[in-house]
Structures are given as structure tokens and as C-alpha cells.
Structure 1
Amino acid sequence: MRLSPLRASALALALLLPVGHSFAQQAPAPVDPVPGAEQLDPNMEMDAPTPRDPLEIYADLNLFGEIFDRIRAEYVDPPDEQELVRAAIQGMLTSLDPHSGYLPPADYNDMRQDTSGEFGGLGIEVTMEEGVIKVVSPIDDTPAANAGIMANDLIVELDGVQVQGLTLDEAVGKMRGPIGTDIKVTVIREGLDKPLDFELTRATIAMRAVRYSLEGDVAVVRLSRFSEQAFVGIEGAIKDIFADRDGVAPKGIILDLRNNPGGLVDQSVYVADAFLKQGAVVLTRGRVPEESARYDAQPDALDAQIADVPLIVLINGGSASASEIVAGALQDHKRATLVGTRSFGKGSVQSIISLGPDGAMRLTTARYYTPNNRSIQALGITPDIEILQDVPEEFQGRDEIIGEAGLAGHITIEGQEETTVGSSVYVPAEKADDNQLQYAIRLIEGLETNEAFPPKAE
């Protein structure tokens, strides 16, 4: 399924994890009703509270103005009026729920880069190893790869300034920058006596949201985030998997959504549709009609190609929002068996509303439901088969999170159960130690059996 531009814009809503994550995209608000989207029964929503008298509201605004003026006039040091206003706006939004908030211009720009999956940079995947910035690999067809930077190179200087002592994030931040700007990267390469200098020009870099591997006859597809690169990454991975196998379908596909914090709603619809030929993917319900709709999968060449390939989805306590949309849709349609631990439980949708030069506001505008009308808010999605990891002693007791239900001020749904226990987010670095992955592989290979696999249509 490919959405029309109008439908895609209506779906460009962000599903965000709590503090520290900004997976969102600017969404026009309001928008016209989505063509072809089923409008849901408005009576299913709770009645709105009785509106207050406008005079009471204006009296409260006068109170705010009086306090603002007293701070400006009497605070011990002259305050920054702009920061005062922004702090007040932030407080107003964060009082609503954990996912609403104000984005200053710099944060808004970072968020747009994050969700677009593109930024101005060099195209180097790096890691920190014993305090040194080490190149994991250059990304194909980027300035770094074209200039000859190689895996295992050690980056020692950026524009003549030593990087020793910088954190990994600080080093990455220095390598990123406006497209078309230059930077000199100095590296040490094993086997060479002298450092190498590379004069690079920053270009548009697309962050990889999808990676895949073949474990025997089983394809493992890892989707790390629902940026704008999510669906094209899934589509490309499936194409490459068939090419690697000379056109022969794999024995099964494992879609790994563990610790995927979510992202764009439209990408969750696209990804779910890659494995579904029809039926609802997600239902959204909000106060205004254009926020309440149903989005369906459509038959296409991609889902036809893998229609008979068994599918397992891996989830855990870090699988949130858009990840839960995909997992819930595939579970409800009996297209996939879910393996792992309970998901995060974030069932609300955030719209990012631009405020022009003043940044943006992130506002919760709808709840979402799985095709079987399940709300996972503060509850999460329970896997069909629960498989626990062997958690190292140093992480035991610190590998679990309660999820959405553990966030102060989270949205509640009257009469709905909420989780009270934690769900593990631990995933071993080595595939051989990954109980959930290895169990899924054995299921597909027929070395394990479970009545939940393959799923049976009711």
C-alpha cells in the first residue's frame, strides 16, 4: 500500500517514548478528513468536560500576567523574559501527560533530523573503544567512503582539534553540520607510521533504520526506529534477501522490534502493510474528526512475494508506540507469532505543531487501537510466547521497566487494566546468547514446537 500525499500527511503523527526520545515529524494541523479512512463512532470517546466561563479563563490569564510582571520587576537578578515564557509553555504542556511538551527551535531542528533519518554529515559509523573514537564502517557512497576512510581507523583530530576526552555524542556532533561545509578528519591507521588527513565536505546522510542477516535459511530483519527510512529499509532488505538466495524465499522471517522506541505513524502503517494484504492496521480516535480514522492494508507485490513465508516478531519492554502498532496488527491478523516479553504500552499519538521561528509544540491528539479494537495504553502487548533472556548478574534487577504505566501523569482509560510489573529490555550483544532470537530460529527450523506457531486464523 502506498498512501496518497494527503493521507500520508494526515498520518504524519509521532508516537513518542518518554523522556529522552524525540521521534516525531511535523504534522499539519488541522487537516482535511482523510480520503477513504473510516470515521469511527464519536460516542466511543469520553464526554468532554463542561466548558468554563470565558471570564474565569481571562481571570487566570490576568493572574499569569501579574506573576510574570512581578518576576520581571522584583526577582533578584534580571530574568530572561523569553526563557520565562518558554518555561511557562513547557510547564503547561507537560502537565497534560508525559508526551506533550514544548520544543525550542534547536530541539525542533534536531527532532526533524531524527525522524527524517537524514542529516548533514560524513557517513561514518563510529564507536567508543577505550576512550578512542573508532570507525566501525563508512557508509557506502558517502564522503567518508569515497575519500577512503576505512573500518578500524582511529579518529584523533577534527579540524586540527584533538578528540581525546570527548564523549561519543560530542564527537559525532562535531562531524555533523550544514551540508556543503568542509571538515578535516585526521585518523591513525594500523600499519602506517603517520596519521592520515582527509578533507571532507559534509553531504546528506541517510541513517540506516533496517539491517538484515541470514541465519541459515532464516532471515532476521532488525528495524531499529520508525524514521522515514523504515519502510524503504524493509522493502530493500526483503529484496536483498531474495537476491542473496537466488530468488528463493527464506524458510521464515524474524522481524526484530526489540527496544525500537517508535516514530512515525505512517511508517508503522507502511511496514505492517508490507506483511499484510488487507484489513485494518491501526485505528485512531481523537476529539476532532480528522484524528479519528481507520487505516487499511492493501494487496501489493511485496506482501504477495512473502505471503507464504512464516513470520515471527520479537518484542520486549523497549518496544513502544509505532512498534506496538505493527506488532499488534500482525498479531491480530494472525500473520505473525510474537516472541519475547511484554511491550512498553504507549497507546497515544502526538502531533508536532510548528510554531514557526519559536519551535514547535508536541501535543497528544489521539489514542490508537489495534485492529481488534485493543488499547495497549499503559498495558502493552503480550507476546504469544514469552521467552526470557539470561541476564548477566551485573544487570539483574536493572533490566526491567514498567513502561508507560510507570510514568507520572500518563493517560488512563477508565476500566482498563494497567501493568504493575516490569518487562525486560535486555538483549545480548552476541546472537548465540540471545534466547529470544535463537528460540525464534528454532521454531522456524522446526527444532522447537509451540501451538502459537504458526498462528491459526480463528
Structure 2
Amino acid sequence: MIRRATLLLAGAVIGASATGILVSADIPARAASDDSTYREMSLFGDVFERVRSQYVSPPDEEKMIQDAINGMLSGLDPHSSYMTAEESEEMRDQSKGEFGGLGIEVTMEDEVVKVVAPIDDTPASNAGVLAGDSIVEIDGESVRGMSLNDAVDRMRGEVGEPIDITIIRDGVAKPIEMTIVRGVIPVQSVKWRVENDNIGYIRISTFMNEKLDESLNDAIEEIRAEVPDDQLKGYILDLRLNPGGFLNQAVAVADTFLDEGEVVSTRGRNSSETRRFDAGPGDLTNGKPLIVLVNGGSASASEIVAGALQDLKRATLVGTRTFGKGSVQTIVPLGVEGSLRLTTALYYTPSGTSIQGTGISPDIIVEQVLPEDLEGVIRPEGESALRGHIQGDEETDEGSGSVAYVPRETEDDVQLKYAIDLLEGNITDAAFPADPAKAVDELQAAKADAEPEPEMEDAN
């Protein structure tokens, strides 16, 4: 039914620190025979030996190598990184649905830790940490000069232990000091409820869960058990503030709402590495009207799902432009040394469009009203603003992303109310409901325009 992917990350789950040595015997022959590569490696060895023997105090040699690896990977793009065996195990635990920490997705920008999004109902979220916040101090120590891995390592600790962080927030004159108690972070990836007695609402907060598709299926079954089919007006799939996760789970979620069609394709540096992932028969919602909510916090795996459902005209997208992370990270196991998270491909929506650095524009743009105290504080965030990001095929000066904010109270949620009104028929729009029958001709035309000309190989 679905071609299962190997362990690929479509979203950035940031937070691994490098404390081991990267060893790989799989060096490409071309690189090994390149004289310039040998010279550079020799230079590295010379510098390492000089520092080890003559530095003013005996250096930590293991840390020197770790820092070299971190520097090499961070120079590629914001999403490639190295994980020790311990950190790899932590990621596997997280994928099973539970991990320890504060509950934030972060990246490093301008030498400070930038919050991509707080995870729902976690210590960080409950303490008031917002998307776009910059963490500048951890327990009184500046994060400047730390790697992202070091900073995240310091934020980890025993459950129940407090941690002091200092935050810089745009629009707020003084730094914000917070004390947050570390906790076990249960990742309840799928939450659901019935709105107005006739609309199924499903929120997916992360794709970093290897059983996400099972939880989604359970949610749909429970909604159908609660609301008779003749009264069920449709579904709302909320992907706002969802930073991404596993590619195979994104494919499985999209497939849940589809009967057929290509969900996504990934393209690496060589044409032979192109992979396509298709949906199989069996829309679990029986073709009921579907609205997908997105905003600037919807990234990567979220964008795969949103892009597939939009291109195949299975759903109407409501909200604001998504984050624009269109790259795929492969987890490469390195035995006892840990694993490598390496950007190996870009993904493309069914129409052949790359959203890297551009994001997805919803069918119906609905801006979320910000509270007065957050006006000018929460600003648009996107992949295109990350230093060192991969330049997207379609990227323009307009960039990607939008404001990433969802009110805690439903009555303040303008985007959700709009979706409910569409399903109830209180308002109308030409983009709703989506009509899958119209997708075939449009997709063929779009893919014809988007497909690159085949490359000619030099036989010499």
C-alpha cells in the first residue's frame, strides 16, 4: 500500500550534542584519489598535532575532534549534525513517544539558541516560551561560543530539576528570565475532539513518532464512532506549530486521507537517487471535506502532508505561509560511534514543486490576530532566514514563513473558527470544498513545467 521509507528525517529535531569521534570507512573512491583532499587532510593533521603538543595547556583531544566534526557539518546547512551513541539512543526513545527535557524545538542562529517551536503542554510551553525566542543564557552562562549540541546538553538534566534560562524576545526591551522545571515529555502526537457535534478536529503536534499513523487511525475511528456518518460534516487537520519529523510518517498521514496519487518525491545529487512515495487505496475519512490549518510553525513533514493534500485537491489549506523547509535528512548509523544526520535530498510536492526557502501558501489566507502584548514580539520566521540554508529552486526575495502563533483558548483562534464556519456553511469560498477530480489535468501540466530536462552524460 505505502512504500515504507528508511529512517529519514523530514524535519529538524534539534538537540543532539556531539561527544564522540566520527569514523567512516565508506569514503568515496573519487574523494580518496583527489590530491587536494589529501593535502587538506594532511593540513588538518598538522594543525591537530601542533595544538596537541604546543598549546598553552593540554587540550581535550576528543573534544578537539568533536569540534572539528561539528564545524564541518554546521558549515553545510542548519540541519546536518552528528549524534553520539547516547544521543542516537535518545532520539530513538523520542520516536517511541516519550523523552526528557523542556519540550522545545531549537536551532542555532547568530550564536544564540533560537526556538523554532515549543511542544504542546510541556514545561517550556507552560512557562510561556514562544516561537522566535532567543535563549542567550543557561543557568547564568552565556550560550555564545557554545555549539548547539553543547547548549542542548546543558538544558538536559534530571526530571524535576530546575533550570534558569534568559530569553531575548523581539519587541521586549529587557531580557526575560525564566526558571523551568525539567520534566518527562510525553509526546502525544495526535489529539482529537468533536467541534459543534458534527466536525472532527485532529491536531498533530509532531511527526517524530514511529506510531503516529496508528494514533491518527484511532482518532478517526473514535470520531466516526461518536458522530454518525450522515451528520459528520468533515474534518479539520491542524498542523500549525508542527516542526516536522519522520518522512515515512508524513507519507502515512497523507495516505490516510487519500485513495491514490503521489504523495512526495525526494531527489538527491544524482538522478538515480530519486524516490517517489505513492498513496494506496483507502481514504479512512470516506472523502469527507477536509481543511488543513497551517502557519509559519508548520515545517518539513507538515509541509509534505499539506503540499500533497493541496496538490491532489483533497484538502483546502487555511492559514498563513509555512516555514519552507524542503530538505530531507538521512540518519546514517555509525556503530558504537553514534550516527550522522545528513541532508541528502530535497523533497518535491506532487506537482513537482520544491518548497525549500519558499514554503506553501494556503488556498485561503487567514491571519491570526495577536494579543496586544505580543504585537511586534512574534515575527515571521522561515527557512529562508536561516543562515547557511540551502537555496531553494523556487526561492525568491519574498522568502518563506509567517507568524507562528496559536492561541491557547479556542474562542481566540481566528483560523480555527474560519475552518469551522466553512464546514458549517456559514461562509463560502471558491477553494472549498477541494475537488480531487480536478487535480489530474492540473498536476500533469504542473509536472511538465517543473520536470528538468534530462541530463546528458559525458561518455569520455
Give the TM-score category using the shorter length: 0.7 to 0.9
What is the CA–CA distance in structure 2 between the aligned matches of 1:128 and 1:59, rounded to whole Å? 47
> Once the two structures are superposed, what CA deviation does each residue of 1:287-326 show, in whole Å capped at 9, x if it has no partner?
35664111111102xx1x4233100000000100000000
In the alignment, which residue of structure 2 is the partner of 1:47?
A: none
**2:314 aligned partner:** 335
Q: Residues 400 and 422 of structure 1 are in contact (CA less than 8 Å); yes or no, is this contact kept in structure 2?
A: no
* Residue identity in the other structure for 1:387: V
Number of residue pairs aligned between Structure 1 and Structure 2? 361
Aligned residue in 1 for 2:200: 219
Q: Secondary structure at the match of 1:64?
A: helix
Shift of 1:398: 2.7
**Closer, same or farther: CA 421–329 of 1 in aligned 2, 3 Å:** closer
Tell me how far apart the structure 1 counterparts of residues 324 and 195 of structure 2 sit (CA, whole Å): 30
How far, CA to CA, are the matches of 1:323 and 1:236 in structure 2? 20
**C-alpha distance in 2 between matches for 1:355 and 1:207:** 27
Shift of 1:383: 0.4
Aligned counterparts of 1:106 and 1:397: Cα–Cα separation in 2: 40
Match of 2:409 in 1: 430
Q: How high is the sequence identity, in percent, across the aligned residues? A: 46
Distance 1:52 1:264, change over 3 A: same
- Give the deviation of 1:170 after TM superposition: 4.8
Q: Is the 8 A contact 2:86 2:338 kept in 1?
A: yes
Aligned to 2:266: 284
User: Tell me, which stretches of 5 or more residues in structure 2 are unaligned?
Assistant: 18-23, 25-29, 102-120, 128-157, 165-178, 440-460
Aligned to 1:58: 38
SS of structure 1 residue aligned to 2:299: coil
TM-score by length of structure 1 reads 0.72
Q: Choose which of 84, 87, 99 in structure 2 pairs with 1:107.
A: 87
Q: Secondary structure at the match of 2:322?
A: coil
Match of 1:442 in 2: 421
SS of the aligned residue for 2:374 comes to: coil
Q: Deviations along 1:15-56, whole A, 9 cap, x unmatched?
A: 22385599xxxxxx9xxxxxxxxxxxxxxxxxxxx9796121
SS of structure 2 residue aligned to 1:312: strand
Which amino acid in 2 is paired with 1:17? A
> Equivalent residue for 2:108?
none
SS in 2 for 1:400: coil
User: Residue 300 of structure 2 contacts residue 324 of structure 2 at CA under 8 Å; is this kept in 1?
Assistant: yes
CA contact (8 A) 1:379 1:418 kept: no
1:351 corresponds to 2:330: yes
Q: Which moved more, 1:161-170 or 1:212-221?
A: 161-170
Deviation digits for residues 177-230 of structure 1 (CA, Å, limit 9, x no counterpart): xxxxxxxxxxxxxxxxxxxxxxxxxxxxx7321000111111110001112132
| Letter of the 1:349 counterpart | V
Question: Where do 1:2-401 residues align within 5 Å?
Answer: 3=2, 7-8=3-4, 10-17=5-12, 20=15, 54-118=34-98, 165=162, 170-172=181-183, 207-216=187-196, 217-226=198-207, 227-246=209-228, 250-288=232-270, 291-300=273-282, 303=283, 305-401=284-380
**Distance (whole Å) between structure 1 residues aligned to residue 340 and residue 351 of structure 2:** 31
Q: Give the TM-score normalised by the residue count of structure 2.
A: 0.72
**C-alpha RMSD of the superposition:** 3.0
Q: Is the 8 A contact 2:368 2:406 kept in 1?
A: yes
Asked whether the equivalents of residues 403 and 422 of structure 1 are also in contact (C-alpha less than 8 Å), the reply is: yes
Quote the offset at 1:79 in angstroms: 1.1
Distance 2:281 2:13 in 1: 35
Shift, 1:400, TM fit: 2.5
| 1:282/1:52 CA distance change after superposition, 3 Å | same
Bigger Rg, which one: 1
- Deviation for aligned residue 1:118: 4.3
Distance in 1 (alpha carbons) for counterparts of 2:94 and 2:243? 12
Deviations 1:220-266 (A, max 9, x none): 10001112132111100000001112565621100000010010000
The Cα shift of 1:169 comes to 6.4
Question: How has the CA–CA distance of structure 1 residues 113 and 248 changed in structure 2, closer, same or farther, with 3 Å as cutoff?
Answer: farther
Aligned to 1:197: none
